[in-house]
Structure 1
Amino acid sequence: MNNLEVVQQLYQWFSQKQFDQIRTILSSDIEWIQNEGFPGGSIHYGIEEVLSGVLTNFKKDWKQWNAVVKEWFDSGHAIICLGYYEGIHKKTGKLMKADFAHVYWLKDLKIYKFQQFTDTLMIQRATEQ
């Protein structure tokens, strides 16, 4: 397995909600940076904080949530993903679509840092009554 395959596996496991599997590819001291204004947006440290503060949180407010990657870029120690989020907010019923860029840094096939870049305005609009 290489770094690109690790990140691709992450998206597959996330879509299948296989959080125990996700734990196996995250570094114990991972730094996960979500845009301010994004659900769970802030900096999260460690596997448990990433899982509880970010990855499992979407089911609370979103009827549906997907991250669709359209392009993958492998720079060796970092993987860049371009794509979009799509979802339906539970309270408003509004459909949302927002472009993103995700950057993952890896060492020894473990993700030790993630940084998100996305249009949080599109997500905010879906949550407004």
Structure 2
Amino acid sequence: MSTVDVIRAHYAASDSGDLAGMLAPLGPKTTWTEAAGFPYAGTYTGPDEVRAHVFEAIGRDWDGYTFTLADLLDAGDTVVGVGTYTGTHRRTGRSFTARVAHLWRFDGGELTSFEQIVDSAPVVAAAREQS
């Protein structure tokens, strides 16, 4: 399977709510970086950390949190997914839309890293309690 096919399968799993399928490309040493300023910012290693610190946290905090893929760019050992996040915060009831890019890097056919680049301001604003 090509690198772009691996990531296409990840996004298809995301669309169907298949967490195991989403995590399938990650190996025990794969790093996953959520952007600074994003509510789940940090770098996590392996599928268990990503599940706990990203996907379970999103599921706990948001209703209808989705990523809508607009473009999938094949650059060989790097694949770029560009799209939009949307969701409604469970506690505040506020919704957001934010543009995002995902950088997926491979070495020898194995996924080595994921990096999120996102406009985190709308996400943070939706989660913030109003004063």
The question of a shared fold, defined as TM-score above 0.5 by the shorter chain, is answered with: yes
Q: Check whether the contact 1:7–1:79 (CA below 8 A) recurs between aligned residues.
A: yes
Q: TM-score, normalised by structure 2?
A: 0.90
Q: TM-score, normalised by structure 1?
A: 0.91
Q: How far apart are 1:81 and its partner, in Å? A: 1.1
| Aligned counterparts of 2:110 and 2:75: Cα–Cα separation in 1 | 15
Secondary structure at 1:57's aligned position in 2?
helix
Q: Percent identity?
A: 22
Please give the per-residue CA displacement for 1:31-76, whole angstroms capped at 9, x wherever unaligned: 1111122132111112210111112221101011001110111110
Q: Check whether the contact 1:62–1:90 (CA below 8 A) recurs between aligned residues.
A: yes
Residue matched to 2:77: 77
User: In structure 1, what residue type is equivalent to 2:7?
Assistant: V
Q: Relative to structure 2, which stretch is displaced further, 21-30 or 76-85?
A: 21-30
Total equivalences in the alignment = 129
Q: Check whether the contact 1:88–1:96 (CA below 8 A) recurs between aligned residues.
A: yes
Residue matched to 1:96: 96
Q: Check whether the contact 2:84–2:97 (CA below 8 A) recurs between aligned residues.
A: yes
Q: Which stretches in structure 1 are left out of the alignment for 5+ residues? A: none
Runs of 4+ residues deviating >3 angstroms: 107-110
Q: Which stretches in structure 2 are left out of the alignment for 5+ residues? A: none
Residue matched to 1:22: 22
RMSD value over aligned CA atoms?
Answer: 1.5
Residue matched to 1:10: 10
Q: Relative to structure 2, which stretch is displaced further, 8-17 or 97-106?
A: 8-17
